[in-house]
Each structure stands twice: as C-alpha cells, then as structure tokens.
Amino acid sequence: MASGKICVVVVSGTLERLQMAAMVASVAAVSGQDVLVFLSMNALTYFVKGNTLKAPHEGEMGGLIASKKVPEFKTLFEQAVELGDAKIYPCSMAMDILGVEQEGLEGYLENATGLTKFLHDANDGQIWTF
C-alpha cells in the first residue's frame, strides 16, 4: 500500500459506520500508513470506560455484523494503535459536553484535541468521515 496519511473523522454512533471507520484505520495502520482518528459527537460515548451500550445498527449489515461475531470496532481501533501506531484523539468539545475527563476514556486514546488542531495535523492527508 502506498505511504501517506489517512485521517478518519468519526461522529456517528451507528454500528456500521463505527465498524467501517475502525476497519479503515486498522488496515491503513498495519499497512504502514500514518493514521489519525478524531472521535466526536455520537461516536465518543462508546469510548468512555465502563460504557456497555451496544451501538445501534442502521440496517441488515449491522445485524449481520453482530450475529457473525466480527471483531468489535473498539478492538480494531485498539489494534490500529498497538500494531500500526495509529493515533486516536477524542474531541475536547465532545468531552466537555459529555462531562468526561481524559481519565474516563479508554487508555489507548491520545490526549484530547480540538477540531482546529486535528484539521491542521490532517491537512496533508486523506480525510475520511464516518
């Protein structure tokens, strides 16, 4: 795979979109690409420690993902960090809205950042949104 930077903005809280974002991030990361992920809006809540809510699915594929025991999106994001050195940033504004501190998020997430900083860091890469 060609080298480059893949920047993934995740705002949806639906299973299919979270799953696809995680697949893009993990495959790109283990293929040697620089990967930056920005978690905001409805996506961030799934990365709060202790959250056991299941992401709702939009359609048939989401139901199949759940029934076929596909690796969970959180597992794929964590593998992107561990196996490919991806960087996953929680949105500081969404954290404020949710009332969550950095310590309340999954340990593999980077320190919170704002959208302005993320877009600056992403300016020379492909930006994918989910």
pLDDT at res. 3: 58
pLDDT at res. 1: 45
Torsion of Cα atoms, 119 then 88 then 18 then 100, to 10°: -100
The class of domain 5-129 in CATH terms is: alpha beta
Q: 10-residue block means of pLDDT along the chain (130 residues)?
A: 82 97 97 97 97 92 88 96 95 98 98 97 95
Residue 69, Ramachandran bin (φ over 0: left; ψ between -120 and 50: alpha; else beta):
left
pLDDT at res. 110: 98
CA separation, residue 129 to residues 8, 24, 37, 61, 101 (Å): 6, 11, 10, 19, 25
Q: Which two tokens stand for residue 102?
A: 């950095």
CA distance 109 to 28: 17
> Domain coordinates of the chain in residue numbers?
5-129
**DSSP β-bridge partners for residue 126:** 6
Question: Which residues are CB-contacts of 53 (< 8 A; sequence separation ≥ 6)?
Answer: 45, 46
pLDDT at res. 89: 98
CA distance 85 to 29: 7
